[in-house]
Structure formats: C-alpha cells, structure tokens
C-alpha cells in the first residue's frame, strides 16, 4: 500500500477504508513509516477531518496496537472515567473509592500532569509509599479483592497513541477533534472498562474554551463509543474557576479526603457525585443517575467511601495514617498570602493563569521529565460571587522558595478580578451527551 496515496486521499477530503487506517497504525507502531509522512497525514486529518466511522476504526486500531487489559476475570460491569484536564480537578480520588464501595469495579489507569492540568498519578505519588506501577496480573487480583485499582498506564498499552501524541505536540496538530477523541478513547477501550464516563472541561482553564467546541468533542467520543460497542456518557463541566479549593498534589489529596469525610461541599463534590452517578448507571448498578448520586452521598455519610480509600492505600503501599494526620504528607517550606486590593465581589477568574501560578510554585511540569514539588501549590479562599473586603485573603501560595511564592502570587493576584457588581451565575454543568 502506497502511503503517499493515502496522504493525498485524505488531503483531498477522501474517506479512508478500515484497511488503510489499519496500515497507517501498523506503520506508526512498528516504525516503518517515517515521522515526516506521519506528520503530513496528521496535518491532512487536521484540515479535512474524519467521519465517525473513520474515527472509530482509528480508535480501535490504536487500542489494539499494544496489549489490551482483559478484565473478564473481575466480576460485574467495570466502570472508568476520564477528564480532559482542568485546575483543582480532584474528582478521581473521590469518585473512584465511592463507586467501588457500591460494588462496581473501578480499574483506572491515569497519567501524570503536563502543564497546569494535574495528573492523578502525581497526586497519588505524593502519598508516602503509594505504588502506582502495577502489573496487569496485580491489577486483576486487587480488583477481585477490593473492586478498586488506581495505576499508571503500562508501557505496552496503546504504543501507537504515544507516538502520535508526541508528533502532534510538535507539529501543530493537537487541535483535531478526531485525533483528540481517538487518543482518549483508545486508552479507555484498551483499559477494558464496559462503561466510560468522560468529563469534558470547558472554559478559561480548559483545552476547550467554548461550549460548541466542547460539545463537538463530547459528541465525537460518544458516537465512537456507539461504533465500538461501549457505553459512553460525556459530562461537559465548567472551568470558569478552579473546580476545588486546593491546587497541587498534596493539597488535592487532602481536599479529596475531606470530601470523603463529608466536610467539604460545593462544586468539587457536585461534579464528583454526578460523574459517579453516571458510572453507576452505565454499570447497571442503579436505574437512574439521581439514584446513583443518592447512593454515593450515602456512602460518604456512612463512611464507606473513606473506608474504601483507606483500603486502596493499604493495598498499594500508601500510609493510611495520612487520613488523620496531614502532616505526614509533604508541604513546601515557604508561603505567601494573596490579599484583595479593593472591596467588592469576586467577579471573574482567569483559571488558566491560576494554573500557571501553580506551575510557578513547582506543583506542575512543562515537560514530561521535569521533577515536581509534591508539597507546592495554592489554596484558594474565595469563589466566584463571594463578597470580599480590601486586605482579605484570596489565596495562600506554597513553594520551596520565597521567590517562587512571590512570582506565583503576582500571577494569581492578576488572575482574580474584583468588581463592585456580582457576576452573572455560571452553571457548573453545561451539557450531558450520551
């Protein structure tokens, strides 16, 4: 098969066959296609797109380019969740133990953070002793015993996606809905879940800045799920402000524990319960999302969710003493408080800038090899619409050096707008697409 002809075909708007797409993914995986031809093909897809059938074929070929988790030995319908990335998005650490505590198996592979989008694996590794590098055999054994595994992606899972992702990042072809959708869904399908809930972030602190773009991505992934025989629901949620109050690895672990203890309400809890409710519905544990939300709230109230989180820590080597003693988690040595400069209302937040401030503290990374500071980050003190007075704390910044704290604090101060009028109410959930 002449790959140049395939590039030209897609460049001219043609539809690729399943055989052609399979040949492309095979060439990417075995290294027989040079980077310049792969990059040319990616650019053609960026400009010409792919229909739902092409995207489904691409997704399945990528999913099957390496090993695929076989979870058939784990009883019941397995549920998974993926977020497109946001600021203070700690939902996995909350909803995974909650869902598992109801008897629904959750075997979730997560990644590390890149840019200001925090990674679940980094958060878990801030817990002393916690082991994220789990083999497939260990994951199945753990899931059979506890219904819950949180682990890093194995080296053999979707190797084609790793190669394509790296090339997209350096060739200006990231912003392609079929390529984004195929990247996300190939990993989720290869991970073996029966039902997949997607949290598509939308707003200033998200990759998708506006609702139509977020809806298009959500619909593409939901359609793909239909084509490959998986149940998929996409929840589009707002990133007009950080989802939780804590930004940074140690700080987000603490906030997740506080939610599971029943001490934290608000947006983080609401989104976690909604996503978890959909996971229970797709797993046929409940008949309605509302029933699922009610059950998960009950698991907070009776302590079952927190008990499952403790079981996860013991299972994977983490210190369960952190649940009662947050001093056992790392905390950076220096801090700076950001104060309101005027009286008024918190009118707007540039969430992306707040994320960049967290990067400045050392809580995130700009390149995959960068070491992060588990104890660094930001604790937000105010939400949109809150009344503030001049001199009142807006946030506290933590970092290893005073200079880092001050640089982050300056970015953070500029990212928060205070006005004499309150902002218009911002809905937290913008759409749900199944």
- Indicate if 419 belongs to the active site: no
- The structure tokens 């619409």 sit at 385
- Indicate if 161 belongs to the active site: yes
- Indicate if 265 belongs to the active site: no
Cα 36-164-219 angle, rounded to 5 deg: 125
From the list 57, 78, 81, 82, the catalytic residue is: 82
For residue 130, which of 407, 320, 345 has the smallest C-alpha distance? Answer: 320
- Indicate if 308 belongs to the active site: no
**Is the distance from CB of 247 to CB of 292 less than 8 angstroms?**
no
**Is the distance from CB of 93 to CB of 271 less than 8 angstroms?**
no
- With b for 16 or more beta-carbon neighbours within 10 A and e for fewer, the 211-227 pattern comes to eebbbebbbbbbbbbee
From the list 78, 187, 310, 381, the catalytic residue is: 187
- The structure tokens 């027989």 sit at 32
> Which residues partner with 236 through β-bridges?
200, 431
From the list 176, 183, 186, 204, the catalytic residue is: 183
Q: What are the tokens at 394?
A: 């807006």
From the list 89, 122, 161, 223, the catalytic residue is: 161
- Indicate if 187 belongs to the active site: yes
Q: What sign does the dihedral 119-123-125-129 (CA atoms) show?
A: negative
From the list 81, 123, 168, 382, the catalytic residue is: 168
Backbone angles phi, psi at 433, to 5 degrees: -125, 125
Contacts for 23-32: CB closer than 8 Å, 24+ residues apart: 24/61, 25/58, 25/61, 25/62, 25/65, 25/160, 26/61, 26/65, 27/3, 28/65, 28/160, 28/163, 28/164, 29/65, 29/66, 29/159, 29/160, 29/163
Catalytic residue ranges: 82, 161, 168, 183, 187
């Amino acid at each position: 098969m002449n790959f140049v002809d395939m590039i030209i075909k897609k460049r001219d708007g043609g539809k690729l066959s399943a055989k052609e797409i399979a040949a492309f993914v095979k060439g990417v995986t075995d290294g027989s296609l040079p980077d310049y031809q792969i990059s040319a093909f990616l650019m053609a897809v960026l400009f010409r797109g792919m229909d739902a059938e092409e995207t489904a074929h691409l997704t399945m070929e990528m999913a099957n380019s390496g090993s695929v988790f076989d979870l058939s030995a784990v009883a019941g319908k397995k549920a998974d969740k993926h977020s497109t990335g946001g600021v203070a998005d700690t939902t996995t650490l909350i909803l995974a133990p909650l869902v598992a505590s109801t008897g629904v198996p959750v075997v979730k592979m997560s990644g590390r953070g890149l840019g200001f989008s925090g990674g679940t694996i980094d958060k878990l590794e801030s817990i002393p002793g916690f082991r994220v590098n789990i083999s497939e055999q260990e994951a199945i054994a753990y899931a059979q015993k506890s219904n819950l595994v949180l682990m890093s992606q194995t080296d053999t899972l979707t190797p084609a996606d790793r190669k394509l992702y790296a090339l997209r990042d350096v060739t200006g072809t990231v912003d392609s809905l079929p390529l984004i959708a195929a990247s996300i869904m190939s990993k989720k399908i290869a991970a073996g879940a029966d039902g997949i809930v997607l949290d598509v972030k939308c707003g200033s602190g998200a990759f998708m800045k506006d609702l139509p773009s977020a809806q298009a991505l959500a619909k593409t992934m939901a359609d793909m799920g239909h084509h490959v025989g998986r149940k998929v629901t996409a929840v589009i949620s707002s990133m007009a402000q950080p989802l939780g109050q804590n930004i940074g690895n140690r700080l987000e672990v603490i906030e997740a524990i506080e939610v599971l203890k029943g001490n934290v309400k608000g947006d983080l809890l609401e989104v976690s319960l909604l996503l978890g409710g959909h996971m229970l519905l797709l797993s046929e544990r409940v008949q309605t999302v509302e029933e699922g939300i009610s059950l998960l709230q009950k698991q907070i109230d009776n302590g079952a969710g927190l008990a499952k989180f403790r079981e996860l820590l013991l299972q994977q080597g983490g210190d369960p003493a952190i649940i009662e003693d947050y001093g056992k988690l790392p905390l950076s040595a220096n801090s700076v408080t950001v104060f309101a400069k005027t009286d008024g209302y918190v009118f707007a937040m540039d969430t992306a800038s707040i994320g960049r401030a967290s990067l400045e503290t050392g809580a995130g990374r700009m390149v995959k090899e960068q070491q992060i500071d588990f104890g660094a980050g930001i604790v937000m003190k105010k939400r949109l619409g809150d009344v503030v007075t001049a001199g009142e704390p807006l946030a506290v910044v933590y970092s290893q050096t005073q200079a880092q704290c001050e640089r982050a604090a300056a970015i953070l101060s500029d990212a928060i707008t205070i006005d004499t009028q309150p902002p218009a109410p911002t809905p937290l959930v913008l759409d749900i697409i199944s």
